[in-house]
């Protein structure tokens, strides 16, 4: 049996009252609940995100739902970024020693 990694996505759900935050368990795993700002951070499978977000938006106690932007962010950095930075003569002398 092979272990298969599933793609997950973070979903931020803003609530009117925190009493209903326990009801969010059926939509994904709750990672964090902010009492001050009244939101919950859920993680769910990437394939189910669209259906689940549509269901969450229909709930009465939900103000709004936001998706995490992390999957769209570029996380691999190439060597070209280092070439743009040039050392001054003074710094170059420090590294030549």
Q: Are 7 and 45 in contact (CB under 8 A)?
A: yes
- Per-residue pLDDT reduced to its tens digit, 69-80: 888 888 776 665
pLDDT of 82 > 80? The answer is: no
What pLDDT shows up at residue 61? Answer: 95
- Please determine, for residue 90, whether its predicted confidence score (pLDDT) is greater than 90: no
Taken in order of first residue, the domains within the chain and their CATH numbers are 8-96 (3.30.70.920)
Give pTM, 2 decimals.
0.73
pLDDT digits (tens, 9 = 90+) for 8-63: 999 999 999 999 999 999 999 999 999 999 999 999 999 999 999 999 999 999 99
- The burial of 41, by beta-carbon neighbours within 10 Å (0-12 exposed, 13-18 middle, 19 or more buried), is given as middle
């Amino acid at each position: 049996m092979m272990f298969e990694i599933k793609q997950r996505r973070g979903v931020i759900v803003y609530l009117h009252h925190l009493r209903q935050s326990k009801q969010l368990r059926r939509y994904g795993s709750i990672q964090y609940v902010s009492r001050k700002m009244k939101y919950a951070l859920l993680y769910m499978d990437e394939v189910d995100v669209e259906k689940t977000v549509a269901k969450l938006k229909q709930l009465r106690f939900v103000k709004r739902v936001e998706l995490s932007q992390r999957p769209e962010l570029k996380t691999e950095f190439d060597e070209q970024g280092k070439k743009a930075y040039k050392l001054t003569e003074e710094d170059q002398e420090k590294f030549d020693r």
